[in-house]
Amino acid sequence: MNRLLWILTTLVLLASSCSSPEKVKFVTVQGTELIAPDGSVLFIKGTNLGNWLNPEGYMFNFRRTNSGRLINQMLCEMVGPDFVAEWWQLFKDNYVTIEDFEFLKSIGCNTIRIPFHYKLFTNEDYMGLNDPDEGFRRIDQAVEWARQTGMYLILDMHDAPGGQTGDNIDDSYGYPWLFESEKSQELFISIWRRIASHYVNEPTVLGYELCNEPIAPYFEDNLNELNASLQPLYIRATEAIREVDRNHIVIIGAPQWNTNFEPMTDWTFDDNIMYTCHRYGGEAGVDGIKDYIEFRDKTGLPMYMGEIGHNTWEWQSTYSRVMQDNGIGYTFWPYKKLTHECVNAFAEPENWDKVVEFSECDRSDFFKIRANRPNQEEMRKALLDLIENIKFKNCTPIVDYIESMNL
């Protein structure tokens, strides 16, 4: 009898140990809504971690030196490439930390959009490294912080191979070469396939935003041709993602600053996609997003405001209420930058005005670089002081900005 009981107990234990683990659930698309893993409706409210993995000049008060490539070049001319390479690592280590995530959760955010540069996933030199795994190291850490704080992440390729926008924001060369270069498109697709393979089983990741603000409106001679090339590339990239990941939402942006949805004519090529729009100006009322609402209702798919901000507190507050009333989730831009117009501001260090002055001066030849270069010791100290200032403990929450987000 004891032997029989032992056998039965062993069989029960073996059966329980071999049972299938509970299936991981992800945020999914259901009609025009997003459904959280627990079955509830998810309404996106949050911010963007712009400048962390894709430096932009205006966030440092630079104007002419306004893209990551130009910022790096200017800093190398000012204090030398070895110092700058080490400085970028300190910048990435301190610009965003678990404390920032805890703060964002405490003010009511449930989603964070992470803009990143494609070079973080290649051997191309970027922010002091040429390591194809740097992007995973940084985003993996953000995933862990999001998991700890109960928030979702949207992964946004803000700077695509060849440049998808043709302006400073994509760190390119003044034209959206992505759409005329098969080599760049293949790299774009392969990076997304690699990212999707890495995060396939990660439910903290809400979705993949294929590229930010494609095709600026400046290229009138062939704008229609450029616009027509966008959707086919989206379809190719989505197909590559689905080869390795059927769990995550693919997020689609429109040309001309994510505002012109006319070229988006096929919304049936995948069963788990949503669209994203942007707004920085115009009337703060439902008429300002009427086109977005109409496109959402026509497609029967969710629409999400990936970027909004840089306006008066009243305008932002009105718009966030309008978006809530009309079922359009949002992430405000940006979370952190120098001085104001953000969620959490950092201060200028001593002698930062000299850094800005050098960034704006004529450096078109080596004589002018040498003639205009400020004191290197002072500039290195200013850059290290900036690292102190960007730490969460030294930043200043902009209360009016936060209140205008209506989180």
Q: Give the chain's domain count.
A: 1
When pLDDT is cut at 50, 70 and 90, the band that residue 283 belongs to is confident
> By percentage, how much of the chain surpasses pLDDT 90?
93
Any domain includes 120: yes
CA torsion sign for 69, 70, 73, 76 is: negative
Any domain includes 26: no
Separation CA 304–CA 315 (nearest Å): 18
Quote the tokens at residue 65: 């030196």
Separation CA 204–CA 269 (nearest Å): 25
Write out pLDDT tens, residues 45-60. 999 999 999 999 999 9
Any domain includes 10: no
Any domain includes 50: yes
Any domain includes 38: no
Any domain includes 25: no
Residue written as token pair 């902009």: 398
Write out pLDDT tens, residues 31-45. 999 999 999 999 999
Alpha helices per DSSP H over 270-375: 290-299, 313-325, 352-360, 366-372
Residue pair 175/215 in contact by the 8 Å Cβ criterion = no
Any domain includes 359: yes
Farthest-apart Cα atoms in the chain, separation: 96
CA torsion sign for 374, 379, 382, 383 is: positive
Q: Is the pLDDT of residue 18 over 50?
A: no
Q: Is the pLDDT of residue 139 over 80?
A: yes
Average pLDDT value over all residues in the chain:
95
Mean pLDDT of the 119-145 span:
98
When pLDDT is cut at 50, 70 and 90, the band that residue 250 belongs to is very high
Residue 189's pLDDT is 98
- CATH number, domain with residue 83: 3.20.20.80
When pLDDT is cut at 50, 70 and 90, the band that residue 21 belongs to is low
Separation CA 33–CA 298 (nearest Å): 14
Residue written as token pair 């698309």: 29
Write out pLDDT tens, residues 236-246. 999 999 999 99
Residue 4's pLDDT is 46
Mapping DSSP to helix (H, G, I), strand (E, B) and coil, where does residue 305 land? strand
Residues 6+ apart with CB under 8 A from 85: 128, 129
Residue 9's pLDDT is 44
Separation CA 281–CA 278 (nearest Å): 10
Residue 177's pLDDT is 98
Residue pair 119/134 in contact by the 8 Å Cβ criterion = no
Quote the tokens at residue 218: 């400046």
Residues 6+ apart with CB under 8 A from 302: 29, 32, 33, 34, 274, 275, 296, 329
When pLDDT is cut at 50, 70 and 90, the band that residue 15 belongs to is very low
When pLDDT is cut at 50, 70 and 90, the band that residue 340 belongs to is confident
User: Taking each helix axis from N to C terminus, what angle separates 376-390 and 352-360, rounded to the nearest 10 degrees?
Assistant: 110
Mean pLDDT of the 160-188 span:
97
Any domain includes 19: no
Q: Is the pLDDT of residue 374 over 60?
A: yes
- Between residues 386 and 15, which one has the greater pLDDT? 386
Write out pLDDT tens, residues 346-356. 999 999 999 99
Quote the tokens at residue 268: 């049936």
When pLDDT is cut at 50, 70 and 90, the band that residue 268 belongs to is very high
- Is the model's pTM score more than 0.85? yes
Separation CA 152–CA 315 (nearest Å): 26
* Full residue range of the structural domain in which residue 156 is found: 45-404
